[in-house]
Structure 1
């Protein structure tokens, strides 16, 4: 199997997994349904068309620059001038993620080509949030775990400089049979059809990878131990 790597970075992102109506939350990292939607847009798959070829992809994401969760609220009026309910929308600001999908080489190659010449515009969870640069990092002969462990850190220069010499990055991926399940969320799209939108449950496994940050400019990068003064 091969993996297709994606750089998901931009001023704003929002990756919902179940929120609706007046409160639109975001997960802390890109969702599988959101990334499959992005790949489907690149391929020109319409919302009413089946997602058969994409549903078998294994998915994982590394939180290279988690960003900040921000809140916005919006007002609206109907055509006759009546006020609609306030809607609260949450999103991630200044975030960057390394996402990986594992599957058949022929399918991944076609997805890579589509990301370079997308049929529909690409966005990071919501239509108003375009990516801040090319999305595809290419197809690689690797396992999903190895790719998420060894690929160079995607954080911005200013973020690297503020970080410690050693950094732990969280990895969130599909749980495999027999593994501990850390979370279950409605994050596998059955249909994006606006009239019959459906998702099923996805089991998630969480872990961390440790990287060395040679760009750190922090004077004291040692981990603070608040109990060290009690050692006598």
Structure 2
């Protein structure tokens, strides 16, 4: 098995899967359709072109720095200024960072890793107003998707890591494998990004947690707080 790892971090991110009309929401973590769209942009695949080579990839994401929900609203007028357009509400994730992984054939993943370094179209974290703040590709690695998401070092910002404990518990959301108990089903399996006929199918996911060592806490000599420690003596 081979995995392409991605770090998705920036001042703002927005990963909508159920946005409608004047309300543009965001999920709490990157969506599979959003990440596949980013990979398609890197490869130069236009929205009207088929996603053939990107279909069937296994996807998962770890919530390293969940961030905060931010609400914004926008107003607009017609070009001549006479007509006022509806007020729209847009939700974002502020100061978030995620470790995402894509599992598939090695040749395809190596090609995607190279494309992310020299993308054909601009990369963004869910919406065009949300560019990444760090290099996206963390390279291609041998092993399973689950192993990569549970063993890779914590990607949170230094200011977020220093006050945290020696060990932190992070949530993972990944594609469910055949025979696994499904946590939930979401409309997040992309089929086509064609604006005239956007199409997604249902995706079964598993939610789990993993304990990751916080090296910054070790350097800062942060200790765990045990309120009952004084009673042991």
Query: Is the partner of 1:20 in helix, strand or coil?
Result: coil
Query: Is the partner of 1:106 in helix, strand or coil?
Result: helix
* Partners of 2:154 and 2:227 in 1: CA distance: 24
Change (3 A) 1:23 1:206: same
Change (3 A) 1:218 1:85: farther
Is this contact kept in 1: 2:166–2:223, CA < 8 A?
A: no
Give the aligned partner of residue 143 of structure 1.
144
Is this contact kept in 2: 1:69–1:92, CA < 8 A?
A: yes
Once the two structures are superposed, the pairs formed by residues 198-217 of structure 1 within 5 Å of their partners are: 198-216=199-217, 217=220
* Partners of 1:198 and 1:66 in 2: CA distance: 28
* Partners of 1:194 and 1:215 in 2: CA distance: 45
Is this contact kept in 2: 1:161–1:218, CA < 8 A?
A: no
Give the aligned partner of residue 154 of structure 1.
155
Give the aligned partner of residue 56 of structure 1.
56
* Partners of 1:193 and 1:134 in 2: CA distance: 28
* Partners of 1:211 and 1:163 in 2: CA distance: 11
Is this contact kept in 2: 1:164–1:218, CA < 8 A?
A: no
Structure 1 vs Structure 2 CA RMSD: 1.7
Query: Is the partner of 1:100 in helix, strand or coil?
Result: strand
Query: Is the partner of 1:36 in helix, strand or coil?
Result: helix
Partner residue of 1:222 out of 219, 225, 231? 225
Change (3 A) 1:167 1:223: farther
Q: How many residues matched?
A: 226
Give the aligned partner of residue 44 of structure 1.
44
Once the two structures are superposed, the pairs formed by residues 114-133 of structure 1 within 5 Å of their partners are: 114-133=115-134
2:75 equivalent to 1:75: yes
* Partners of 1:67 and 1:143 in 2: CA distance: 27
- Give 1:18 deviation, angstroms: 1.8
* Partners of 1:218 and 1:28 in 2: CA distance: 31
* Partners of 2:169 and 2:225 in 1: CA distance: 14
* Partners of 2:77 and 2:186 in 1: CA distance: 33
* Partners of 2:133 and 2:65 in 1: CA distance: 14
- Give 1:218 deviation, angstroms: 8.2
* Partners of 2:118 and 2:20 in 1: CA distance: 31
Query: Is the partner of 1:38 in helix, strand or coil?
Result: helix
* Partners of 1:77 and 1:31 in 2: CA distance: 31
Query: Which sections of structure 2, spanning at least 5 residues, go unmatched?
Result: 229-233
